[in-house]
Homo-oligomer: A and B are copies of this chain.
Amino acid sequence: MAVSEELDSLLAGFDGGTMCPSRLVLEHVTSRWGVLILIALSERSYRFSELRRRVGGVSEKMLTQTLQTLERDGFVHRDAKPVIPPRVDYSLTALGEEAAGRVRELARWTDARVAAVEEARARYDTARREAATRSSQ
């Protein structure tokens, strides 16, 4: 229904025998650290360790790895200045800004709705608990 027959290949997961490319891209963008890195870089450009501090809990390895994936996909621009000590600035490309905009929308919505989600969880948990005690009687 609706207006979205164009997402068929994404949902199908295959594009004539091989893995659907758009699903791969979507997984990069929605990956655990990809989301947070895109949001951080949509604020401003960051140096490597700045970014590591900004995105709480990310390991050095995952930061490197995710940045490389995002750079390869054309979302992130890596500017390595040939100085000592090394200095590398990361920023979003035009493509990255477009993606980050959507991701931020989702993140902002999530942030706004956390309370509603936690209420739903409480209802779910008590409902399950009551069902459990009832069946054990």
A contact residues vs B (CB 8 Å cutoff): 1-2, 4, 6-7, 9-14, 20-23, 25-27, 29-32, 35-36, 39-40, 42-44, 54-57, 71-74, 95, 98-99, 102-111, 113-114, 116-121, 123-125
Contacts and interface: CB of A to CB of B under 8 A. Distances in A.
8 contacts: A7-B111, A22-B111, A30-B31, A73-B120, A74-B124, A95-B120, A98-B113, A99-B110
Contact of A7 (B20, B23, B29, B104): B104
A64 to B, nearest CB: 15
Contact of A26 (B13, B110, B125): B110
Contact of A35 (B30, B42, B57, B117): B30
Contact of A102 (B9, B22, B56, B105): B105
Given A4-B108, A106-B29, A36 B10 contact: yes
Complex copy number for this chain: 2
Nearest to A106: B102
Contacts of A56: 11-14, 20
Contacts of A9: 111
Given A4-B108, A74-B119, A106-B103, A10 B26 contact: no
